[in-house]
Chain A
């Protein structure tokens, strides 16, 4: 099973260009940090409530991204609220995207193709070789968002991450997005880490809109 970090990176890739969206770096880091925290939560390494995030098992999982995140949380000297944990981990999450892409390439889901266009812009292309994983995520999310089906916890996490990235256009048709908004709002509240990620990304967007010279 893919990690949430891998799933959200896959979903962010543009099908045609194989490129990542043009998100502010701070937003990308926040989403990746949130994805790692959600992975740790669903693998019983951390637990959260309205007041704090608790490391309940510091044992490594054998996943370089998640073990880095877990180590940082376990080493924290102060009690962390969920928003504080997201913010703290985001400052270290920049490498997570490249690590996830490398694993997806190694796992045969993506292939790396350094094209001319990307050479010029110093970015890499990751065209999807085997899009079963990407389709599965989209179909799962569509079913949960467009019906009254009770989501499973993994669906809730992905809805939080997809919405924080503004990627529901990759999941829903244009005419579906407006009517689905109340349901998306309902579902994305259901994970406390997801709430913190959504709030942090919205604040980053707000800051950029009101202070475009801010460096993110």
Chain B
């Protein structure tokens, strides 16, 4: 699991790549938490390089989404590959998270 972070004006774009499972959950959550510093955080999560997500990985995203909501912020995802998209569809996470087609769409969605 690799976590990357870049700032696009007022939007934090965090990229998760590799496998997001129980062994990577703590690292991923810490990486996402680091982007939530200010009140009303704007967070776009780039999953372009993520090729696997387990239930533990889904929980990381849920916990972060809850933190963003509590801080009156906004969050969107983009770049889901087919098997990650299937996990989101089966679990209904695609009805909880805004999912954009690309980075520009995700950044626009959280502004």
Chain B nearest Cβ from A94, distance in angstroms: 26
Within residues 135 to 160 of chain A, which ones have a CB less than 8 A from any CB in chain B?
A: 149-153, 156
CA–CA, A193 and B23, complex, Å: 19
Chain B 35-62 interface mask (CB, 8 Å, partner A; 1/0):
0000000000000000011111011001
Chain A 152-192 interface mask (CB, 8 Å, partner B; 1/0):
11001000000000000000000000000000001101111
Task: Verify if B95 is at the interface (C-beta below 8 Å from A).
Answer: yes
CB within 8 A of B22: which of A44, A149, A151, A190? Answer: A44
Task: Verify if A50 is at the interface (C-beta below 8 Å from B).
Answer: yes
Interface size class of B (residues with CB under 8 A): 20 to 34
CB within 8 A of A153: which of B62, B69, B90? Answer: B62
Chain B nearest Cβ from A185, distance in angstroms: 8
Assess whether A191 is in contact with B22, with CB atoms less than 8 Å apart: no
Chain A nearest Cβ from B55, distance in angstroms: 4
CA–CA, A56 and B54, complex, Å: 12
Assess whether A47 is in contact with B56, with CB atoms less than 8 Å apart: yes
CB within 8 A of B69: which of A149, A156, A195? Answer: A149
Assess whether B22 is in contact with A189, with CB atoms less than 8 Å apart: no
CA–CA, A114 and B8, complex, Å: 66
Assess whether B93 is in contact with A190, with CB atoms less than 8 Å apart: yes
Assess whether B55 is in contact with A192, with CB atoms less than 8 Å apart: yes
Contacts of B53 in A (CB 8 A): 49
Chain A 91-103 interface mask (CB, 8 Å, partner B; 1/0):
0000000000000
Task: Verify if B81 is at the interface (C-beta below 8 Å from A).
Answer: no
Contacts of B56 in A (CB 8 A): 41, 44, 47
Assess whether A189 is in contact with B92, with CB atoms less than 8 Å apart: yes
CB within 8 A of A56: which of B22, B69, B93? Answer: B22
Chain A 47-80 interface mask (CB, 8 Å, partner B; 1/0):
1111000001000000000000000000000000
Chain B nearest Cβ from A193, distance in angstroms: 8
Contacts of A186 in B (CB 8 A): 92, 95-96
Q: Taking CB as reference atom, which chain B residue is nearest A149?
A: B69
Assuming A189-B91, A192-B55, is B63 touching A47 (CB within 8 A)? no
Chain B nearest Cβ from A35, distance in angstroms: 15
Task: Verify if B33 is at the interface (C-beta below 8 Å from A).
Answer: no
Assuming A44-B22, A152-B62, is B69 touching A190 (CB within 8 A)? no
Assess whether B23 is in contact with A150, with CB atoms less than 8 Å apart: no
Assess whether B62 is in contact with A151, with CB atoms less than 8 Å apart: yes
9 pairs from A and B in contact (CB 8 Å cutoff) = A41-B56, A47-B54, A150-B66, A152-B66, A153-B63, A186-B92, A190-B91, A190-B96, A193-B55
Q: B interface vs A, CB < 8 Å?
A: 21-23, 25, 52-56, 58-59, 62-63, 65-66, 69, 86-87, 90-93, 95-96
